Amino acid sequence: MYEKKNFTYIMTILESIEKIFLYAGSFKDPDSFFEANEQMNFNASQILLLVIGEEVKKIDQGLKSEHTGIPWREISKLRNRIAHDYRSIDPNISFDIIKNYLPELKSELLKMLDKISFERQLLIKTVKSSQYRHLIYLIGEEEE
């Protein structure tokens, strides 16, 4: 089992993914995603991609090495690109990442949660908070 600190990192990434799905999910193409709401959906998604890249850096290397199908280094590089060269972000690439790579990342992160030592009460308390409310599915209906 991996340390509890990984719980926070993974939960933050999962919540970021869920929010990105909310902000980008209804769009069929990168252009409409980029232009919607004065670029608010796009900009919010970029910040959350940055958060994902930051949190990925903090996850134990051993835990990440058990999930080699995820391009951990590229996720961190994307974070750096968004943070340091924001004007060069291509909406086509962001849209592709959101539609084609985030679902797989989410799936792997859910598997990773099973390898972390934390109390069930922590999970319940966390998903019932406003910060992580999009992860309520993690506790099941009986505890909602």
Residue 49 CB neighbour total at 10 angstroms: 23
The three state secondary structure string of the chain is CECCHHHHHHHHHHHHHHHHHHHHCCCCCHHHHHHHHHHHHHHHHHHHHHHHHHHHHHCCHHHHHCCCCCCHHHHHHHHHHHHHCHHHCCHHHHHHHHHHCHHHHHHHHHHHHCCECCCHHHHHHHHCCHHHHHHHHHCCHHHC
Residue 126 lies in a domain: no
Residue 141 lies in a domain: no
Residue 33 lies in a domain: yes
Residue 129 lies in a domain: no
pLDDT in the model for residue 141? 62
Residue 123 lies in a domain: no
Query: Domain of 37?
Result: 5-116
Residue 77 lies in a domain: yes
Note the pTM of the prediction, 2 decimals.
Answer: 0.93
pLDDT in the model for residue 92? 94
pLDDT tens-place string over residues 3-61: 999 999 999 999 999 999 999 999 999 999 999 999 999 999 999 999 999 999 999 99
Domain count, the chain: 1
Residue 60 lies in a domain: yes
Residue 133 lies in a domain: no
pLDDT over threshold 70, residue 138: yes
